[in-house]
Amino acid sequence: MYLKTSYKKKINFSKMHGLGNDFMVIESITQDFVISSSKIKELSNRHTGIGFDQLLLIEKPYNCKFDFHYRIFNSDGNEVEQCGNGARCVGLFLILKGLTTTNKINLSTNKKNIIINFISESLIEVNMNEPIFISNSATNPIIFKPHNFSEKIINNSLLCSLVSMGNPHCVIQVESIKNAPVKTISKIIEKKSIFPDGINVGFMKVINKNYIQLRVYERNEGETQSCGSGACAAVAVGIAKNLLSNNVKVELLGGILSIKWEGFGNPLYMIGPANYIYEGCIYI
């Protein structure tokens, strides 16, 4: 974190998590600072820093239509477009810090706008907007194909479904979550030239029409305990393929999320918890 001034300055932060997907949350509404990717990487180190999957930065709204602007940085310092678990934590953070008193919060992000709604103290609903199904090819990187979105990725054999929840996801259906080669397959997929910005890879096992198990390898992060946007992507694929109902429980390594989607033309909703861990400060 590099500041405009030459002296050390105290920056307050909160450590939070959504089903084990953990975050360092900082607001720049009452605090004045400039952040750098190298400092984010330093802070994310679990041995010498704070330790987190993502840094969440809350800013004043860029547009009067929204309550706040929300930015996400992976632990490598790169900014990404979306984080479902992070959105719930941002909502709880804003309430706990007294930065808002409403139970409905309208956030703008770099790619999509999301609406947070507090169902109870322990459950938060996020309107993640409508999923966008995409297809990739070497000649035309992004082709929108709402009803035909399966691609053969590795050696023309591994069938993947590609969908955007504001950030890109590749969903693979597997027979066993425990034995899925998550790291091996994901590393091959994320390095393919058709994904120049990388891609998150989800491994989905359908238990029944209302329940799936899921493991997610997040780009530049590795496998995480939970990925909210990954859960949304997997359910969207399952519903689009008529494998799932409109209300699905998603079992991740860190816990369970509820996903609701009425299909094409409708927004998708994610419901789950957010947890406050501790508050601290750093001097820069």
200 assigned to a ligand binding site: yes
85 assigned to a ligand binding site: yes
Count of Cβ atoms closer than 10 Å to residue 132 Cβ: 17
> Distance between CA atoms of 215 and 75, rounded to whole angstroms?
19
Chain centroid to Cα 270, Å, comes to 11
> Distance between CA atoms of 167 and 81, rounded to whole angstroms?
5
246 assigned to a ligand binding site: no
166 assigned to a ligand binding site: no
With CA atoms as reference, report the closest residue to 197 among 136, 277, 239, 144.
Answer: 136
User: Is residue 175 within 8 Å of 207, Cβ to Cβ?
Assistant: no
54 assigned to a ligand binding site: yes
SS3 12: strand
> Distance between CA atoms of 184 and 209, rounded to whole angstroms?
28
* For the chain, counts of helices (H) and of strands (E): 4, 20
User: Is residue 162 within 8 Å of 151, Cβ to Cβ?
Assistant: yes
6 assigned to a ligand binding site: no
Q: Where are the beta strands (DSSP E) in 84-157?
A: 104-108, 113-118, 124-127, 132-135, 143-144, 150-152
What residues are annotated to the active site?
83, 227
228 assigned to a ligand binding site: yes
242 assigned to a ligand binding site: no
129 assigned to a ligand binding site: no
21 assigned to a ligand binding site: yes
| CA atoms in the 13 A half-sphere facing the CB of 206 | 17
Encoded tokens for 3: 């500041």
β-bridge mates for residue 108, sequence order: 69, 113
127 assigned to a ligand binding site: no
User: Is residue 23 within 8 Å of 89, Cβ to Cβ?
Assistant: yes
User: Binding site residues for substrate, as ranges?
Assistant: 21, 54, 74, 84-85, 167, 200, 218-219, 228-229
User: Binding site residues, as ranges?
Assistant: 21, 54, 74, 84-85, 167, 200, 218-219, 228-229
